[in-house]
Structure 1
């Protein structure tokens, strides 16, 4: 079975250092067993992906320079995509506090640098997804006909982050205001599991991936929803290298998805979002 991984970052030494030394995520990574996180060259990573039938891997950029002491990593994402455009799909990370500068970066990244989507982190921007500062970015995504990944999740041990800013209910507002915009809820809207499921069900343009939260308390509802009301809405995403993509693939083979639903999750739903 072919696989699209909708949340992947190549485990180069620079990527690993960026995670483990980050002031934002240092506390989170101190709780995680990182023994599996070995640095590789990009060609080695690509070879491993192909060996395991991963035909596309979405790399999301991040820019939260206005709120945290971390500059944009979009340059690195662009380098990955331009080096291996056959397998890597890049989403430009955007800082809503940069206003028109962010809008122009989005347009330039898509039209001139090979990027295929956009990515935001409301809990790192310290404003919810339906804040007016995001709306020019959503409008530009509609104009460019590209999807937007919106990160959710509890922002565990991220200093100064407000968990409420990541709630799926704010994404519901965006989906209604921009029905042409394909939205992917990253990290499953956890811990608002039922809320995220309903946002995906009630909006044609909302999808979600569950990376890192497939086995958290209450997560069995994701599987139930995939097998019943949203078989066309959930995407496979590993969160590699935080979770090794091979380990994540094994987990999805073990979770009790119906066979046709698993095929949708591992490839078909993502292909639809990406327009493949």
Structure 2
């Protein structure tokens, strides 16, 4: 079973409100102001999945700075997993700075069938991952529901691109150290965090942290797959496209042809790890 662990969808209403949203949210404007930046609905994603031969996809909306907009995005994610229960797995956007309001929204989404929180963006939402108490209740709630927290991560060096920020490996590590009870996904290869797993104390602290491969084409040579397998282990890598930023079918083709992975590693990365992490195996999926 192939699982795309990181995709983005929007309701028709939010797509139609693109110009308004770019005025209300600076980070959203950076990523979506260009008409070339695609915004797709759940139905369009499922069509792409069928063309690419993908069984399941983890869907997120957008983590706005305004929690009210996060809730509107979550409403579409909830409806999407109801419409495509055998295809889509949902994550909820929340604004951690909103305290009890964020906790309420997170639990609302868990009770509605979503499997975690994400893709949260410290840069765009203005929170500090190194603050020990910020995620205390959210992490406990996520552990209670056996969910995950997905975080946008960025490299501390290298080329610039829309959405690059300052959520660097040290900050992702701080969250993992503060909340070892919670499973965390560091998107975009964790901004280079896998390298530090060569340090035994860092590997131990990151035992419940996983790396997704979203947007690989824009970030690294495909040797990154082999490198992170050797650094952290294939069991910690979740294949992800960041669709619609990247086409799923072409990316799958490149991973199979260029990533230098054996069949066991491919099985783990392309779906096995995500199925285990998200509890899909429990239903025989």
Post-superposition Cα deviations, 1:34-53, rounded to whole Å, max 9, x if no partner, equal 5xx596x7445424423433
Which structure has greater helix proportion?
Answer: 2
2:106 aligned residue: 106
1:169 to partner: Cα distance: 1.7
Does structure 1 conserve the Cα–Cα contact (< 8 Å) formed by 2:52 and 2:248?
no
Does structure 2 conserve the Cα–Cα contact (< 8 Å) formed by 1:200 and 1:230?
no
2:260 aligned residue: 256
- The alignment of Structure 1 onto Structure 2 pairs a total of residues equal to 266
SS of 1:63's partner is coil
Label 1:208 to 1:200 Cα distance change in 2 as closer, same or farther (>3 A): farther
2:117 aligned residue: 118
1:229 to partner: Cα distance: 3.8
Label 1:134 to 1:125 Cα distance change in 2 as closer, same or farther (>3 A): farther
Q: Does 1:274 align with 2:278?
A: yes
5+ residue gaps, structure 1 = none
Q: Does 1:242 align with 2:241?
A: no
| TM-score, scaled to structure 2 | 0.79
Label 1:217 to 1:187 Cα distance change in 2 as closer, same or farther (>3 A): closer
Does structure 1 conserve the Cα–Cα contact (< 8 Å) formed by 2:214 and 2:241?
yes
Bigger drift between 125-134 and 88-97 goes to 125-134
Bigger drift between 248-257 and 25-34 goes to 25-34
1:256 to partner: Cα distance: 1.7
Aligned-pair RMSD on alpha carbons?
Answer: 3.3
1:265 aligned residue: 269
Label 1:49 to 1:96 Cα distance change in 2 as closer, same or farther (>3 A): same
Bigger drift between 9-18 and 170-179 goes to 9-18
Partner Cα distance (2:226, 2:36) in 1: 26
Post-superposition Cα deviations, 1:213-263, rounded to whole Å, max 9, x if no partner, equal 356357734421214641100101000011111222122112222222122
1:147 aligned residue: 148
Partner Cα distance (1:178, 1:117) in 2: 15
1:275 to partner: Cα distance: 1.5
Partner Cα distance (1:25, 1:176) in 2: 29
